[in-house]
Structure 1
Amino acid sequence: MFEGRPDRDAEVVLVGRSNVGKSTLMRELTGHAVATGGKPGVTRQPNHYDWAAEDFVLTDLPGFGFMSGVEEERREQIKTDVVRYVEEYAEHILVGVLVVDGKSVIDIIDRHSGPDSIPYDVEMFHFLRDLGIPTVVAVNKMDKVDDRDERLDDLCDRLGLHPPWKQWQDTIAPICAKRGSIDPLTEAVRTHLHEAARDDLFKFF
């Protein structure tokens, strides 16, 4: 199980597969350098970024799913630890941000869909929502996507949200973290913080 969570009441978590750009997004949100690498699975423990004077922590949880060079048992352990962490702190988590790769997410979901399997991304989306955590899907790397609206509509469809995606702007946030274009995400997060009566945390987003 992960160790060392700061003693903070309010939390926003980033979850998602390896290599979708969570750590890059974390760096963009915090202005704080986070270890990133071309190799999947660089983040093995949560990265907590807590602002000392505030009762708030932003957490980048380790990536789950396939990682080249990482044995399956270890991958499953990471996923289990992520799930346990979210369950344990669910009542403190004001927003869960599920980061996906806009270019590959549909293919990945379709490849892992079957009568007896649910793709990780879809499973994690429903898991967060079932725990009552307001969830935003940060669809990253959108600069590499040509058929933007169609891709986002397809993603809504896979997640069980009725397209068009534009009616879900507090849930679906197309971004490009590497280029610093993350406004749709920060706006969606603020919507949920406002609903939780935590406008005081807007300055972090």
Structure 2
Amino acid sequence: MFENRPKRDAEVVFVGRSNVGKSTLMRELTGHSKFNTGKKPGVTREPNHFDWAGESFMFSDLPGFGFMSGVEEERREAIKTDIVRYIEEHADKILVGVLVVDGKSVVDIIDRHTGEDSIPHDVEMFYFLEELGIPTVVAVNKMDKVDDRDERLNDLCDRLGLYPPWEQWKGDTIAPIVAKRGQLEPLKEALRHHFHEAKRDDLLKFVK
């Protein structure tokens, strides 16, 4: 179980498969370089919390889930269980859950893991956050590598049970971004929306 969570009353959690660019996204969002990034999936094994002195708020980058090269399945399942427990335990303090996906590959991955008795991790996590009543934003990263942008985003909405076209989910649920280039405005817009809905306009300064 993850320990050492800073005592903060509000947080935004970032979840997603390994290697979708969560740590790069966190670094760009916070302007802080402490987040480890690497070519090897699964670099982040414990949550990375980023908080501010004097502020009862933080961003939390949770470890990547799903397949990780060189990591045994038992260990992968344990990490996923820890992520689920963490979110359940702190649900009342989580203002927004951000599910980070790779825009180029997410639809194919979902389709590959969809079966009669199996739900892909990304879809499962999306529903899990929603069931807990946590406002959820899907940050669709690496969009600079996607040619058929609208079609791909519509397909993703379809797989998540959201009615296309994707544009109707813009601003609160679907946020196409390119973390590596710092192109995060759609995500910031969605976070601003949810902070405002939660009557936490005091936090808008963190997503200018």
Please give the TM-score of this superposition, normalised by the length of structure 2: 0.98
Report the CA distance between 1:53 and its aligned residue: 1.1
Matches within 5 A, 1:8-27: 8-27=8-27
1:56-87: CA deviation from partner (whole Å, max 9, x where unpaired): 01100000000000010000000000000000
Q: Distance in 2 between matches of 1:100 and 1:81?
A: 20
Please give the per-residue CA displacement for 1:123-154, whole angstroms capped at 9, x wherever unaligned: 00000000000000000000000000000000
Number of the residue aligned with 2:112: 111
Give the secondary-structure state (helix, strand or coil) at the position aligned to 1:81. helix
Secondary structure in structure 2 of the residue aligned to 1:14: strand
What does the per-residue CA deviation read over 1:2-33, in whole Å, with 9 as the maximum and x for residues that have no partner?
Answer: 01000000000000000000000000111111
Identity %: 80
- Code of the residue aligned with 1:157 in structure 2: it is D
Structure 2 partner of 1:174: 176
Equivalent residues, number? 205
Cα deviation for residue 116 of structure 1 reads 0.3
Let me know the Cα RMSD of the aligned residues: 0.4
Partner of 1:53: 54
Consecutive unaligned residues of structure 2, counting only runs of 5 or more, are none
**Corresponding residue for residue 132 of structure 1:** 133
Normalising by structure 1, we get a TM-score of 0.99
Give CA-to-partner distance per residue, 1:137-184, whole Å, 9 cap, x none: 000000000000000000000000000000001100000000000100
1: CA distance, partners of 2:51 / 2:181 = 24
Counterparts of 1:183 and 1:57, CA distance in 2 = 19
Query: Which amino acid counterpart does residue 12 of structure 1 have in structure 2?
Result: V
Q: Secondary structure at the match of 1:97?
A: strand
1:144 — aligned with what?
145
SS at 1:42 equivalent? coil
